[in-house]
């Protein structure tokens, strides 16, 4: 993770640190396991053969983990008056999600920026927020907006921007099979929309390399 400004973890926490609560998904792990076994049969496999022993349970367990990411995390803010008005950019966050159209993985590289107004958000919380919204059936554009929405809510300001570069297996291993395709999305709010200098600074830090990877 990289940042242009580092929060002081010893600074006093703000009193109004909001608790981020996302309703826990209702997952019937036993039924998911049964259905995976049925899927294997429908695909012409024998779920009882040696190599597939335990596969339905493992897959069901993974779904359970994937759909229950850290739902009780608390957002920690630190009072920091001397960084008022300075751009903070947190990048290098990589999360995995599932495309809801094909149930195939997508890797999302997330960069978030905001302008502190009297308090800083703990840096690790950016990653937790990204992980929470990745842990569901998603599309990249909605993920980008949801992360920006939650950041704005937690920080208590609309001056947030989130840039995401996605690699979608539904483009790489099916359909057009474009291995090198990357999808970029941006959600800019508040001053990141109205102030072109701030917007340029954020984009330069979010995408420092112009070469396609």
Q: What is the number of residues in the chain?
A: 213
Tell me whether residue 112 or residue 171 sits nearer to Zn ion (CB atom). 171
Tell me whether residue 102 or residue 145 sits nearer to Zn ion (CB atom). 102
Tell me whether residue 138 or residue 146 sits nearer to Zn ion (CB atom). 138
Query: Which of 11, 35, 170, 203 touches Zn ion by CB under 5 A?
Result: 170
Q: b/e for 19-32, b at 16 or more Cβ within 10 A?
A: ebebeeeeeeeeeb
Query: Which of 101, 174, 184, 194 touches Zn ion by CB under 5 A?
Result: 101
Cβ of residue 31: shortest distance to Zn ion, in angstroms?
25
Residues in the interface with Zn ion (CB under 5 A) total 4
Regarding 169 and contact with Zn ion (CB under 5 A), the answer is no
Residue 187 to residue 204: CA distance in whole angstroms: 15
Distances (CA, A) of 99 to 29, 126, 166, 184: 21, 21, 11, 15
Residues whose CB falls within 8 Å of the CB of residue 43, separated by 6 or more in sequence, listed in order: none
Query: Which of 102, 145, 182, 207 touches Zn ion by CB under 5 A?
Result: 102
Cβ of residue 95: shortest distance to Zn ion, in angstroms?
16
Nearest to 125 by CA among 79, 75, 81, 82: 75
**What DSSP state is assigned to residue 154?**
H
Query: Which of 40, 99, 151, 188 touches Zn ion by CB under 5 A?
Result: 99
Regarding 139 and contact with Zn ion (CB under 5 A), the answer is no
CB-based closest residue to Zn ion: 170
Tell me whether residue 134 or residue 206 sits nearer to Zn ion (CB atom). 134
CB 83 within 8 A of CB 3: no
Applying CB under 5 A, the residues found at the interface with Zn ion are 99, 101-102, 170
């Amino acid at each position: 993770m990289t940042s242009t400004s580092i929060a002081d973890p010893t600074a006093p926490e703000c009193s109004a640190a909001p608790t981020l609560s996302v309703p826990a998904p209702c997952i019937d792990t036993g039924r998911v396991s049964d259905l995976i076994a049925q899927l294997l049969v429908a695909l012409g496999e024998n779920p009882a053969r040696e190599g597939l022993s335990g596969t339905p349970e493992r897959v069901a367990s993974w779904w359970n983990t994937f759909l229950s990411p850290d739902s009780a995390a608390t957002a920690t803010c630190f009072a920091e008056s001397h960084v008022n008005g300075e751009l903070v950019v947190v990048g290098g966050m990589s999360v995995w999600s599932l495309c809801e159209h094909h149930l195939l993985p997508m890797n999302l590289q997330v960069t978030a920026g905001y302008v502190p107004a009297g308090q800083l958000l703990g840096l690790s919380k950016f990653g937790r927020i990204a992980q929470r919204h990745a842990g569901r059936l998603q599309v990249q554009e909605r993920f980008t907006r949801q992360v920006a929405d939650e950041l704005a809510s937690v920080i208590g300001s609309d001056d947030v921007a989130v840039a995401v570069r996605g690699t979608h297996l539904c483009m790489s291993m099916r359909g057009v099979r474009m291995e090198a395709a990357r999808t970029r999305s941006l959600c800019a709010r508040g001053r990141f929309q109205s102030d072109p200098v701030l917007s340029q600074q954020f984009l330069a830090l979010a995408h420092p390399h112009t070469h396609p990877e």
